[in-house]
Structure 1
């Protein structure tokens, strides 16, 4: 792999999307809460139980996710009970799907050994397993040895959607 460091400068790297993203979702419990939300978890107690952290930590993570715009609190009320809140991913939170899927693929490849992992992503229409792919805006799959860092002075314009 080519050394890409010559294209970076420390000032520009302060605005690196990876670093900025980790400022928001960089803890294990935060990412596990997001994973659970993708699986349909909505209620506070269920998050605490499924993530395996205490109620105070769950409350702090959910509060941070709401404050960062990744989740929203939606009121609900069971008959005869007080009003409570569910937590749902926003569009911004749903945007983490590929990151969660990539982490799952990486863990499956490098960390799970011979163990069978407890879940996978499958295409709802045909049942085949789904994996992440790096693709350029022209629609080509890009492998690790085929990318280069390009210094940009402006934010790129949106690319055409080639996923249809």
Structure 2
């Protein structure tokens, strides 16, 4: 008899959603670009100044984020100046906020400066600090020890002839 553990060990990981997400946002500079844009920096020159990364690398990361619909460009013009482009977060980009805040929360707990976190994220309406939590659809908090993994509609095994390499 095949158990759920046996199935997971024989799974084809080529269609893993985590791996696919990391192909787009799993690089340090990409996450730092998103951080700065969420913090309100929107122009290439300002991003370059804040991050200090090579210009070509920044341009490539921005291009990839726009290509994947996480950022968009919009044109603006200040009085007396030529029109310019700035980067704005799309709805798809805003859907990454819980993941990035989760990394921040972990970093604040285990990797913060001895003086404490560099920034505190708060709910604008009430001022309370934010925390990222895993909750089920019935609104129960779910600790990592209570997460159950089961095959989903895209699950396949390495032996599946339709998906064999």
Tell me the TM-score normalized by structure 1.
Answer: 0.84
Q: Tell me what 1:33 maps to.
A: 33
Runs of 4+ in structure 1 deviating by more than 3 angstroms, as ranges, are 4-7
Q: Tell me what 1:45 maps to.
A: 45
**Is the CA contact 1:7–1:149 (under 8 Å) kept in the aligned structure 2?**
no
Q: Tell me what 2:126 maps to.
A: 126
Tell me the TM-score normalized by structure 2.
Answer: 0.84
Q: Tell me what 1:161 maps to.
A: none
How many residue pairs get aligned? The number is 151
Instruction: Pick the structure with greater CA Rg.
Output: 2
Q: Tell me what 2:116 maps to.
A: 116
Q: How many Å apart are 1:57 and its aligned residue?
A: 1.5
Q: How many Å apart are 1:152 and its aligned residue?
A: 1.9
Return 5+ residue gaps in structure 2 as ranges: 156-165
Return 5+ residue gaps in structure 1 as ranges: 156-164
CA offsets, 1:16-42, max 9 Å, x none? Answer: 111111000011110001011111111
CA offsets, 1:14-69, max 9 Å, x none? Answer: 21111111000011110001011111111111111112212222111111110111
What secondary structure does 1:117 align onto?
coil
Q: Tell me what 1:18 maps to.
A: 18
What secondary structure does 1:14 align onto?
helix
